[in-house]
Amino acid sequence: MPNEFAIDVTRIRDEARQHLKKGAVTPSNTTDIDQVIKVLNEVVASEMVCYLRYTQNAIVAQGIDREQVASVFQDHAAEELGHFQRVAERINQLGGSPDLNPATMKQRAHTEYTTLEDTDLQGMLRENLIGERIVIETYTEIIHWLGEADITSRRLMEHLLKDEEDHADELNDLFVA
């Protein structure tokens, strides 16, 4: 076989023993860990802002399609909260501390927390679709930036991106432009 798999298990074992305090971060992770933690803390903030916006919208929504749209908002809120927790756990795994300070979350978030003066379902759908499009674009950029340097964080972001694209698609189906 021309491309046989070869691995230096002795070197890997030695490195594993030498760097126990680094936990899950091995030499194969070639990123600037501090910068990845900073970016992932922005993702944590973005996910919390989305969770709060969806939750608020689900509660105050009114109108003939309120039940259907509020149910979608509740589902999306639950998924955003799950994203928040998964990214916070990844930060911890990288040896960082998730920044859960509510006082700075709005400034770190990629999306905005917008509240509408009324309970217009189409306005809520529009604002949430804008939020999803923002995170789709920024998460795509993060994925490109991570590349092969931190495969685990990249895959986490890819899973989040897929969910956010599903959210945008679902919102788009409900939105009347």
Q: What's the angle, vertex CA 85, arms to CA 164 and CA 109, rounded to 5?
A: 60
pLDDT number for residue 8:
75
Mean pLDDT of 150-168: 97
Residue 57 · residue 121 · CB < 8 Å: no
Q: What is the pLDDT of residue 1?
A: 53
67, 77, 66: which is closest to 128 by C-alpha?
Answer: 77
**Token pair of 142, please?**
């993060």
Supply the pLDDT for residue 175. 81
The span from the CA of 172 to the CA of 167, in Å, is 8
The pLDDT confidence band at residue 64, using thresholds 50, 70 and 90, is confident
Q: What is the pLDDT of residue 116?
A: 66
Mention every residue, 6+ apart, whose C-beta is less than 8 A from residue 105.
45, 48, 49, 99
> How far apart are the C-alpha atoms of 37 and 90, rounded to whole Å?
9
Q: Using CA atoms, how far apart are residues 49 and 135, in angstroms rounded to an integer?
A: 11
Contacts (Cβ under 8 Å, ≥6 apart) of 83: 43, 47, 160, 163
Domain ranges in the chain are 30-174
Whole-number average pLDDT of the chain: 89
| pLDDT tens profile 104-157 | 999 999 998 877 666 688 889 999 999 999 999 999 999 999 999 999 999 999
Nearest alpha carbon to residue 108 among 43, 34, 32, 156: 43
Q: How many CB atoms lie within 10 A of CB 105?
A: 20
Q: Does the domain at residues 30-174 carry the CATH identifier 1.20.1260.10? A: yes
